[in-house]
Structure 1
Amino acid sequence: MDAEHLEYFKAALEGRASVGWNVWFAANQQALAQQLSRPALLRLKFSKLDEAERLLAQTGIVPRSTAGKRYEMYCAEFAADVVDANGRPLPALWRAAHGGAIGLLADGEREAGQAKLLAEFRRVRKRGLQQAHEWLADLCFEGEMELTSGNAEVGRSLLAVVVQAGSGHDLLDATAMIARELLERHG
């Protein structure tokens, strides 16, 4: 495999890539098809950065583990119609997430954005504890990604909602504790 492909894998897994996985793979798929067996190419296409990490390990390259890696893996899961030319989430879709709460938070309207998120949590909570747990865990992940790789203020606000909504029940408290630790660690 070309060194430039391995360099991209390493950069992506360290959160330093200038373009996301899907954009890079689309641009390099033909070259990879000439260098890899069909099964290896398909593993790379569908397992994405997990397979890239395995291929790097086979060559003795171990990327540094960073929050950027999780962000790249997160972005790699998006469909092509919701990302920009660099493979990052489209700003309009990002702002519209959670009924527009993200846009409110990004505009500095913290109270309004958090109120919208808490109302969404209450609706999810009515469907059951398991759904509430999954929703909080997803919001916690979004908050961590924003805090470490995106808009830090939005990330802090998302994590604050997780802390507030998750307190008071054993299943939800664990996620609230994770959010609290992230807020303490990243100020």
Structure 2
Amino acid sequence: MSDFSLYFGLGKDHILDYANGYDHILFVVALCALYVSHDWKRVLILVTAFTIGHSITLALSTFKIVNVRSELVEFLIPVTIFITAVSNLFKNENNIGTKPMQANYFYALFFGLIHGLGFSNYLRAILGRDKTIITQLFAFNVGLEFGQLVIVLLFMSVCFILVDLFGVDRRDWKMVISSAIAGMALILMKETAFWLDK
């Protein structure tokens, strides 16, 4: 198996691993919660902005150019989830897309920077002392992006069935999904509040 295939698989499996990647899954779903199936282009832009953000800090952190305490990163990740989910509650889903450059894209990019630091801890652990990591880093990022697109496809498919086919109100869909994610993010924030440890 080539290095590319190996690290592509590791990236894909990391984002799709419910036990280890659930926080990132929650963030991707929170990003998608405002949208329905015909908004798929906007969702792709959001996910790509998130990928660009986490690719930057994943590279910087893996090459040890940026170093942030892992405990802080683990706390900030659920904070990004909470902010994204709560902000969904105050947005009018019917006005989405009226502006060419939405603030959501910048939030996804910025929050992606934080998530990249979280991915880097995992990647550094599996790379060990390997110094030639450019191919592995690229493959890992591509695998992460693929995993995120799988999550988006699954979520948007469920959204299509419930909202488009069964007529669930779009606002109700947004409110239920975003509220549930915000609640889970609060639990994660409490669990990762490192300053509370004895």
Q: Same fold (TM over 0.5)?
A: no
Normalising to structure 2: TM-score of the pair? Answer: 0.22
Normalising to structure 1: TM-score of the pair? Answer: 0.23
Task: Report 1 or 2 for greater relative contact order, CA contacts < 8 Å, sequence distance ≥ 6.
Answer: 2
Higher Cα Rg, which structure: 1
